[in-house]
Amino acid sequence: MRIYPRWTVSDLVAHTGSVHRWAERMVRLGARQEIARVPQHERDPARLIGWFRDGVTRLAETLERTDPDQPVWTMAADKSAGFWRRRMAHETAVHRWDVEEAVGVIAAIDPRLAITGIPETLEIHVIRALAAAPVGGRGERIRIRSTDTPGEWTIRLGSDSVAWASTVDDVDATLSGSASAVWLAIMGRTDQGVELAGDRRAIRTFWRALRLPTTPSY
């Protein structure tokens, strides 16, 4: 279960570097509206890594000198520069996992980072990306739980959307595992290390919904 099955490693490096530059400009300018992201990148493979390093260095420097509370546009409820610190750490970590997985190096993501990536991914890549999508739900509630770092969230599957749901005892299914395993699962990378329990139809609907987004939602 992969989001970008046709990308090469060069494509992945170019994408991540492009997002780094886009976010850096957003924060540096204190943009109050989204700035269009033009995926321009170094085309020469021999220079691609240098181009990537230059972009991520500038991003880190801009984030370091910017007040985390500074208002700036984001695709989430948190409209602050601090959001971009987390978002870019998440973006880079997941795509690093992609590259490592492509060459056979399978390693868990630091749980301290993964546990913050789960609710962000649910908000941006699932709830936001699946607005008006053919989810096919009937109001089923899915609990998502980390077993190695405290964290628990509940979502509701609608016919054409996914939404947050109040955390209640009565849910239809549960997805649980380490923070890293859960995050990678809901990001569409791998289902290794997660357990799904409960109503089988709810589980199938949830798993199918995770596969609906085929492009980045930003």
Write down the pLDDT at residue 3: 42
pLDDT single digits (tens) 56-108? 999 999 999 999 999 999 999 999 999 999 999 999 999 999 999 888 888 89
Average pLDDT, the chain: 90
pLDDT band at residue 167, thresholds of 50, 70 and 90? low
Q: What's CA 113's distance to the chain center, in Å?
A: 12
Separation of alpha carbons 95 and 86, rounded Å = 14
Beta sheet of 173-177, edge-to-edge order: 162-164, 152-157, 140-146, 173-177, 194-198
Domains of the chain (ranges; CATH) run 9-102 (no CATH), 113-210 (3.30.1050.10)
Model-wide pTM > 0.85: yes
Query: Rounded to the nearest 5°, which phi and psi values hold at 173?
Result: -155, 160
For residues 43 and 17, is the Cβ–Cβ distance under 8 A?
Answer: no
If we measure between CA atoms, which residue out of 144, 149, 179 comes closest to residue 164?
Answer: 144
